[in-house]
Amino acid sequence: MTDTTNMSAKELLGFYQEELYEEARQAKKEGKLVCWSASVAPSELCVTMDIAMIYPETHAAGIGARKGALDMLEVADGKGYNLDTCSYARVNLGYMELLKEEALTGKTPEKLEKSPAARIPLPDLLITCNNICNTLLKWYENLAVELNIPLIIIDVPFNHTMPIPQYAMDYIAEQFKDAIAQLEEICGKKFDYDKFLKVQEQTQRSVAQWNRVAALSSHKPSPLNCFDLFNYMALIVCARSKDYAEITFKKFADELEENLKNGIFAFKGSEQRRVTWEGIAVWPHLGHTFKGLKNLGNIMTGSAYPGLWNLSYTPGDMSSMAEAYTRIYINTCLDNKVKVLSDIISGGKCDGVVYHQNRSCKLMSFLNVETADMLQKENGLPYVSFDGDQTDPRNFAPAQFDTRVQALDEMMKQNKEGVSNE
């Protein structure tokens, strides 16, 4: 057993990511169940049942970040999947087709062999939840048909008003109970509610440490560049119901707090202006987007995207858990979305906003124009948008991004000069 005691947070991140994939591969070898899950589906249910978990969105992001997305996208294109479909879905569906081919022929396809991402096994069951988009329903329904395996769906209504009404929480809580009944049938054993409570408590400890890390960007200068949250996000998605996430995030927060105490900041004295990033990371061009801002002295200290996993609730209370899984800000009305972003902008002491107009994630881009307009009227901060995609590298133009962030930088400078001259 590997001793992780003296590992840095970065080392822990890499170690536990690989550990999760190895656990799934080992489970498959031993004839145990493997589940493919949507990123904001209730992991607590499957972890309680000792089911190994794989998260296709995170796996697809990893393929994109390692420059391997095009091979998977070409497979999906060849199968007739529409180019307007979520690129996470298309990368995963392409990967699934290659795994199917390998299973049927006994030969590993060349594109699967050379894929830079971790190898994952085919699933025995699926669980999805539409609190971040309805594409997940059709994506997972398609996987279930292609692989002829069970699919558990948690239907989460869109919140047209806030606060969330009790009937909506009751509706979701009942679906949790129905999902438990389905898992009991699939697994052939009873659900352990005592263990479930412990898993819920672990999830809350992980979420608390995740929020602790994110809050450190409020310091000025900041010890944290929120681009780091994009990388560490893998564990809040894939391991929030295990102690892997808590251990890693606690270590990261401890390191950042020590840096803060010693006057060590993310940009080492070169922080000039602070921005909020609204939208998913551009994984195939993560380095370019980070450097494009950093080269101008701009640090990202705010982003609502990592906050999707601020799943705080009261363990033992199904209604509270249901509320956590439905209050995802992109699953709420425009007024609430604006409020969430406003709090992030002020919390990060930001000087401007960058909006990622994501070509294949409609919901993350939906109402960005209205949101930007309402926020600017409220806080007077400049903003720009750029065209991109979370995993398809063909939908991002580096020159356009550079031009837009340069324009934002000039507007932020003018704003600051105007304030200092008053």
Query: Read out DSSP for 313-330?
Result: --TT-HHHHHHHHH--GG
What is the C-alpha separation between 361 and 322, in angstroms, rounded? 24
Query: Is residue 3 assigned to a domain?
Result: no
Q: For residue 348, how many C-alpha atoms fall within 13 Å in the half-sphere facing its CB? A: 29
Residue-wise pLDDT tens digits, 130-173 = 999 999 999 999 999 999 999 999 999 999 999 999 999 999 99
- Tell the residue number behind the tokens 């352990």, with chain if given: 192
Query: Is residue 1 assigned to a domain?
Result: no
Question: What pLDDT score does 417 carry?
Answer: 77
Statement to judge: residues 283 and 300 lie in one domain: yes
Give 253 or 369, the one with higher predicted confidence: 253
Statement to judge: residues 134 and 216 lie in one domain: no
Q: For residue 134, how many C-alpha atoms fall within 13 Å in the half-sphere facing its CB? A: 2
Tell me the CATH number at 99.
3.40.50.11890
Query: Is residue 378 assigned to a domain?
Result: yes
Which of 274, 178, 256, 184 lies closest to 220, judged by CA?
A: 274
* CA 124 to mean position of chain CA atoms: 23
Residue-wise pLDDT tens digits, 19-78 = 999 999 999 999 999 999 999 999 999 999 999 999 999 999 999 999 999 999 999 999
Summary mean pLDDT of the chain: 96
Statement to judge: residues 140 and 169 lie in one domain: yes
Of the candidates 192, 217, 237, which is a domain's last residue?
192
Statement to judge: residues 123 and 222 lie in one domain: no
Statement to judge: residues 216 and 333 lie in one domain: yes
CB proximity list for 247: less than 8 A, separation 6 or greater: 4, 12, 16
Question: What pLDDT score does 280 carry?
Answer: 95
Whether the per-residue pLDDT at 247 is higher than 80: the answer is yes
Of the candidates 192, 223, 255, which is a domain's last residue?
192
Statement to judge: residues 91 and 177 lie in one domain: yes
The amino acid occupying position 61 is A
CB proximity list for 39: less than 8 A, separation 6 or greater: 55, 57, 58, 132, 237, 308
Statement to judge: residues 302 and 396 lie in one domain: yes
**276 φ, ψ to 5°?**
-100, 135
The amino acid occupying position 245 is A
Q: How many domains does the chain have?
A: 2
What is the C-alpha separation between 346 and 276, in angstroms, rounded? 10
Statement to judge: residues 171 and 240 lie in one domain: no
Q: What pTM was estimated for this model as a whole? A: 0.95
Question: What pLDDT score does 420 carry?
Answer: 56
Q: Is 339 exposed, middle or buried (0-12, 13-18, 19+ CB in 10 A)?
A: middle
Of the candidates 131, 162, 192, which is a domain's last residue?
192
Q: Is 392 exposed, middle or buried (0-12, 13-18, 19+ CB in 10 A)?
A: buried
Tell me the CATH number at 374.
3.40.50.11900
What is the C-alpha separation between 90 and 212, in angstroms, rounded? 34
Question: What pLDDT score does 365 carry?
Answer: 79
What is the C-alpha separation between 24 and 310, in angstroms, rounded? 25
Residue 296 per-residue DSSP state: T
Q: Structural domain of residue 288, as residue ranges? A: 196-420
**232 φ, ψ to 5°?**
-70, -15
Which of 61, 62, 55, 89 lies closest to 75, judged by CA?
A: 89
Statement to judge: residues 209 and 175 lie in one domain: no
Residue 49 per-residue DSSP state: T
Average pLDDT over residues 211-219: 97
Statement to judge: residues 184 and 206 lie in one domain: no
